[in-house]
Amino acid sequence: MVDGNFEVTGYMHIAHGEGVEGCTDWSVDYLKYKVLLGEPVRIKCALFYGYIRANYTHAQSAGLSLMWYKSAGHGDFEEPISFDGTRMSKEEDAIWFRPAELDDVGYYSCVLRNSTYCMKVSMSLTVAENDTDLCYNSKMRFFEKAELSKSKDITCQGIEDYIQPGVEPEIVWYKECKPKQWRQTIERRRDTLSIKEVREDDIGNYTCELQFGNFVVRRTTELSVTAVLPQLPCFLAVPLSPLRFGRLFVMRSPAIATQPRQVNSTLCSDQSSSSVCTLECTLSIPCLSFGDVKICAKLVLMHFHGAAVEYGGVDESMLVGSFDE
């Protein structure tokens, strides 16, 4: 849709309709703002970042005004915002909180309009306190996965608005909210903590801290580590039940491996709370001929269930599978 010099883009997958006073309402933007109590945050009017092909300067030149409203929930009564110019201020296409307070939680709507044109979109803001005795809120963490012995980069995410152009940011990294002497294989580069070879003890919470005026900006990432289990040989034993085509069978068999190291059970699964490792293997049996009859079979899937995997040891475990013709 084109109105004057403005073209509305159509690639944002957000339902919209005619709202109050005939304003085209694009509902709530997908980007949700989350900030810790006492830290600064900038909420940008999403209209200029995906909904219209114009920036704030062009909108002003065309005689359009940008107004801001706040509501407790989407669809609730929206009250015009009165900016005090200090803690909360309107700056071009955004509003700044220096710092954010718990009362700031809610929905912030930016409305771009003149006498014939009106568009609106809302952004949600969540303000939360740190968890007890921690430097982060567990519900506001980013999550990353790494593989044992592989490299991994942890980035200080969402800090672009707090870095001055042309100035190298001074970012301090913490693990479990404490300063750490990083080993030589861990490098700090601008906004990234680069781990050259991931180890099991790298599991944990990494917090980056950036000074922004009189305030600090923190981002925390929880890193989980998984191990890639090697292909282990399959050992068959006598089944506990008769073998029949198309039927499940159960047998007991020792699972033996010869690797000279031990892998913690938490590394065997993507779910660190699980203590079960699963190995899969497939066994094909050559076709047998009995006169005019030819029988072919294959062990489709065999699972290994154990409390842990200890290389160099033997674990008596249950094998479950099925034979198909």
Query: Which CATH number do you get for residue 150?
Result: 2.60.40.10
Residue 292: the pLDDT is 64
Nearest to 157 by CA among 143, 145, 168, 146: 143
Residues present in the chain in total: 325
**Does the pLDDT value for residue 290 go beyond 50?**
yes
Highest mean pLDDT among 43-47, 50-54, 267-271, 291-295: 43-47
Compute CA distances 271 → 9, 223, 225, 275, 276, whole Å. Answer: 40, 12, 10, 9, 10
Tell me, yes or no, whether 221 and 192 share the same domain. Answer: yes
What are the residue ranges of helices labelled H in 30-156?
A: 56-61
Collapsing DSSP to helix, strand or coil, 202 comes out as helix
Q: Read off the pLDDT of residues 33-75 as tens digits, 9 standing for 90 and up.
A: 999 999 999 999 999 998 888 889 999 898 999 999 999 887 7
Tell me, yes or no, whether 196 and 275 share the same domain. Answer: no
Least confident of 153-157, 207-211, 216-220, 300-304: 300-304
Q: Regarding predicted confidence, which is higher, 306 or 137?
A: 137
Tell me, yes or no, whether 119 and 152 share the same domain. Answer: no
Tell me, yes or no, whether 150 and 222 share the same domain. Answer: yes
Compute CA distances 211 → 33, 85, 102, 137, 303, whole Å. Answer: 19, 21, 21, 19, 52
Has residue 232 been placed in a domain?
Answer: no
Cα torsion angle, 137, 138, 144, 148, sign = positive
Percent of the chain with pLDDT over 70: 64
Question: pTM for this one?
Answer: 0.67
**Does the pLDDT value for residue 271 go beyond 60?**
no
How far apart are the C-alpha atoms of 25 and 159, rounded to whole Å? 29
- Number of folded domains that form the chain: 3
Has residue 235 been placed in a domain?
Answer: no
Tell me, yes or no, whether 54 and 96 share the same domain. Answer: yes
User: Is residue 12 exposed (0-12), middle (13-18) or buried (19+ Cβ within 10 Å)?
Assistant: middle
How far apart are the C-alpha atoms of 28 and 25, rounded to whole Å? 9
Residue 34: the pLDDT is 95
Residue 148: the pLDDT is 95
Tell me, yes or no, whether 119 and 12 share the same domain. Answer: yes
pLDDT, average across residues 228-250? 56
User: Is residue 174 exposed (0-12), middle (13-18) or buried (19+ Cβ within 10 Å)?
Assistant: middle
What is the domain range of residue 200?
138-226
Tell me, yes or no, whether 274 and 215 share the same domain. Answer: no
Q: What single letter denotes the amino acid at residue 321?
A: G
**Does the pLDDT value for residue 215 go beyond 50?**
yes
How far apart are the C-alpha atoms of 293 and 98, rounded to whole Å? 82
